[in-house]
Copies of this chain bind each other. A is one copy, B any other.
Amino acid sequence: MKNNENLSNKRHSLAHLLAAAVMEIYPNTKRTIGPAIDNGFYFDFEFAEPISDADLPKIEKTMRKILPTWKNFERFELGAEEAKKEYPNNPYKEELIDEFTKEGQKVSFYKSGEYWDLCKGGHIENIKEIDPDSFKLDRVAGAYWRGDEKNKMLTRIYGLAFDTKEELEKYIYQKEEAKKRDHRKLGKELELFTNIDEIGHGLPLFYPNGAILRRTIENFVQETQESLGYMPIWIPHITKENLYKISGHLDKYDAMYSPMKIDDDNYYLKPMNCPHFMMLYKTIPHSYKELPIRYTCTTTNYRYEKSGELSGLTRVRALTQDDCHIFCEPEKIKEEINVILKMIEKVYAAFGLKDFYVRISLRDSKDKSKYLGSDKVWETAENALRDIVKNTGWRYEEAENEAAFYGPKLDFMFQDAIGREWQLSTVQLDFNLPERFELEYTDKEGKKSRPVVIHRAVLGSTERFMGIMIEHFAGNFPLWLSPVQIKIIPVRENHNEYAKKVADTLKEANIRVDFDDKEENLGSKVRDAKNKKMPYWVVIGDKEISSGKLALENRNGDKSELTLEELKTLLLKEIVDKLFSLPTV
C-alpha cells in the first residue's frame, strides 16, 4: 500500500474525528495525541472508566454521525495560558503546551465542527472527500504516555483508513487471511521449523519437512543459475577483522556481532559475503577471455536484529542467502543484468509470483557523504540501471536514499496470493569493492583493467522467502515444493507388502513418499495426510490389490483411479511442469 501525503492528512483528520466522537460520548475523558500511521490512525486517551473493543461500534457510529456536520479545518493560535484553559485538568496537554511555548511562542489549534484541538496541522483540504465507509475502528490497546513506561498507561484506539472502501476491505481481508496463514502457526502445524529458547532468539531450526522445503527451494535456484553459467563456491562463516576493514563494512555496517579472539586476531561471524567473493577472485589471475566470472554461494549470514523485532522466519538473526557476484567488463553490465532479470522472472513464475514492479534505488542526493565512490561513477551506474529497466517494459519506480553505500540497486517488489507486497530480489551495481580490493583482469590490449561487480540475490534469504511462501500458499505447497509429495496408506497389516512396493517404485523415481505402515486406523492416517496438507494420498486395501488400480485422492477432495505407472507419470509430469493452482482465497 503506497502512502501519500493526502492519505496521511485524511488519516490525521480522522484522528480528530475519533477524538470528537469520544468526547461527545465520554465528556470526562482527557485527550492526549492522535497521529496518522501506516494503515490509519490512533488517538490516546485517559478515560474516566475503562473501555473495550465492544465500545468501538458505538464510537464509530458517532464518528459517522458527526462527519457530515464538519466543514474544513480552521486554524487559530493561542498563547500558553489561554491554550491551557481549553483543557481544564488535563496534565498531558499542559505538558505539551509548556513544551511548545518554551520560548514564548503561541501554539496552533485546528477546529472543525464543534471540535478543536491543539495541533500542528496536516489535515485533508476538502473534508467532503472522506468516504464514511473508507475507515473503521480497529482495536483498543494500552500505551504509555509518550511511550515511556514510567508514565501513566493510557488507552489507545486504533483506526484503519484508506482512500476508498475497496482498499479498506482489501486490507481487512489481507489481515484476516494473513492471520489464518501465519507462517509461525503453519510452521508448527506442518512441522516445518521451530524456535528453541536454549538455542537462541532468531535462530530457527528446521524439522525434516522444513529442511526438505528449504533445500528444494535452494536447489531450484542453484540449478537455474548454474544452467546460465553461474559457478558455485564455498566460504566459511567466520573471518578475520582485516577483511571487513578492507571492505569498509567494519565502519559502515552496524549489524555485526562482537568479535571472537582467536590467537592474536579478532574474528567476526560474517554478516555478508561480498568480501569473500572478492578475495576468491583476487587469488587467481584473470583475463578478459574468462570474463564474466559468475560465482554463487548459498550460505548463512549472521546479523544483529533487536530481540523485539524478531519474528518467525521473516526476521531472523541467521539468514541464508543465495548470493552471487558477477565480475565483468564494464561494457558487459547491461548484458549481465539482462540475464539476471530473465532469471528472476523465471524463478518467481515457478512460485506463482507473477505480479511485480521494480524499484530503482538511488543515492540520497542530499547527503552524499554516506556513500563510497565519486559522483561520476554513481551517475553512470544509476543511468545504466534506469536504461535496463526501461527496456524491459516492466512497471518501475525510482526511490532516493534506498541505495547501498557502495552502489545503486534494483529491488523487486512482488505481490503474493493475498495481494501483499514483498521486497525480494536485489541486483546491485558495485564500482567500489573492486576498487577497495584492487581487483584486476588483463584486457584485450594486455593491460590491467578493473572489473565491475554485480551483486545479486534471487530469493533474498531462504528463511524470509520460506516464511513468505508458507503464507502465500497457506501451507498448500505445489507438488514440486511439497516436503511429502504423496502418502501411501495400507488399510491393514496384510496390505503392507503390496503398499511398500508401490511406495518403493515411486521413491525410485525420486518422488518424496511417506509410507505409513504405523499401527493406526485408516481414518487417523488419512486425517494426518489432510492435516499435513499433503498434495496426494493413496489408500491400498483388498480391492486395490486385486484390481491393480490405485485410489488417488488430493487435498482438494478430487478422487481418481489409476495404475501405478499412470500415477508415477502423473506425479512426475506435475513436478517437472511446476504446475499448481494457487490456493483459492
* Interface residue? A114 (CB, 8 A): no
* Given A196-B283, A234-B211, A203 and B239 contact (CB-CB distance below 8 Å): yes
* Interface residue? A204 (CB, 8 A): yes
* Interface residue? A63 (CB, 8 A): no
Complex partner residue of A262 from B200, B239, B243, B265, CB under 8 angstroms: B200
Instruction: Collect the chain B residues with CB atoms within 8 Å of residue A103's CB.
Output: none
* Given A284-B191, A295-B208, A237 and B240 contact (CB-CB distance below 8 Å): no
A281 to chain B, nearest CB (A): 10
Do residues B198 and A238 form an inter-chain contact, with CB atoms below 8 A? no
Interface string of A172-197 (1 = CB under 8 A from B): 00000000000000000001001010
Do residues B234 and A267 form an inter-chain contact, with CB atoms below 8 A? no
Do residues A289 and B518 form an inter-chain contact, with CB atoms below 8 A? yes
A240 to chain B, nearest CB (A): 5
* A residues contacting the other copy or chain, number (CB 8 A): 61
Residue in chain B with minimal CB distance to A507: B227
Instruction: Collect the chain B residues with CB atoms within 8 Å of residue A265's CB.
Output: 200
Do residues B240 and A212 form an inter-chain contact, with CB atoms below 8 A? no
Complex partner residue of A238 from B203, B232, B246, CB under 8 angstroms: B203
Distance in angstroms between the alpha carbons of A577 and B297 in the assembled complex: 29
* Interface residue? A445 (CB, 8 A): no
Q: Which of A66-100 contact B (CB under 8 A)?
A: none
Do residues B237 and A199 form an inter-chain contact, with CB atoms below 8 A? no
* Interface residue? A206 (CB, 8 A): yes
* Interface residue? A148 (CB, 8 A): no
Instruction: Collect the chain B residues with CB atoms within 8 Å of residue A235's CB.
Output: 199, 205-206
Do residues B231 and A200 form an inter-chain contact, with CB atoms below 8 A? no
Instruction: Collect the chain B residues with CB atoms within 8 Å of residue A196's CB.
Output: 279-280, 283
Interface string of A213-252 (1 = CB under 8 A from B): 0110000000000010001111111111011001000000
Instruction: Collect the chain B residues with CB atoms within 8 Å of residue A304's CB.
Output: 262
Residue in chain B with minimal CB distance to A245: B198
Instruction: Collect the chain B residues with CB atoms within 8 Å of residue A129's CB.
Output: none
Instruction: Collect the chain B residues with CB atoms within 8 Å of residue A240's CB.
Output: 198-200
Interface string of A268-312 (1 = CB under 8 A from B): 010000001001100110000110000101001010100100000
Complex partner residue of A237 from B212, B227, B231, B302, CB under 8 angstroms: B302
Do residues A205 and B236 form an inter-chain contact, with CB atoms below 8 A? yes
Interface string of A494-536 (1 = CB under 8 A from B): 0000000000000100000000001110000000000000000
Complex partner residue of A199 from B208, B233, B239, CB under 8 angstroms: B239
Complex partner residue of A257 from B262, B302, B520, CB under 8 angstroms: B262
Residue in chain B with minimal CB distance to A194: B283
Most buried by B among A205, A283, A297, A307: A205
Distance in angstroms between the alpha carbons of A178 and B28 in the assembled complex: 91
Residue in chain B with minimal CB distance to A289: B518
Most buried by B among A234, A295, A317: A234
Do residues B205 and A233 form an inter-chain contact, with CB atoms below 8 A? yes
Instruction: Collect the chain B residues with CB atoms within 8 Å of residue A200's CB.
Output: 236, 238-240, 262, 265, 267
Distance in angstroms between the alpha carbons of A260 and B317 in the assembled complex: 14
23 contacts between A and B (CB under 8 A): A194-B280, A196-B279, A196-B280, A198-B239, A199-B236, A199-B239, A199-B279, A200-B236, A200-B238, A204-B236, A205-B276, A206-B233, A206-B234, A206-B235, A207-B280, A211-B231, A236-B300, A257-B260, A258-B260, A258-B261, A260-B269, A289-B518, A289-B519
Sorted from nearest, which 7 A-B pairs have the closest CB atoms? A208-B231, A206-B234, A203-B236, A211-B232, A236-B318, A211-B234, A200-B240
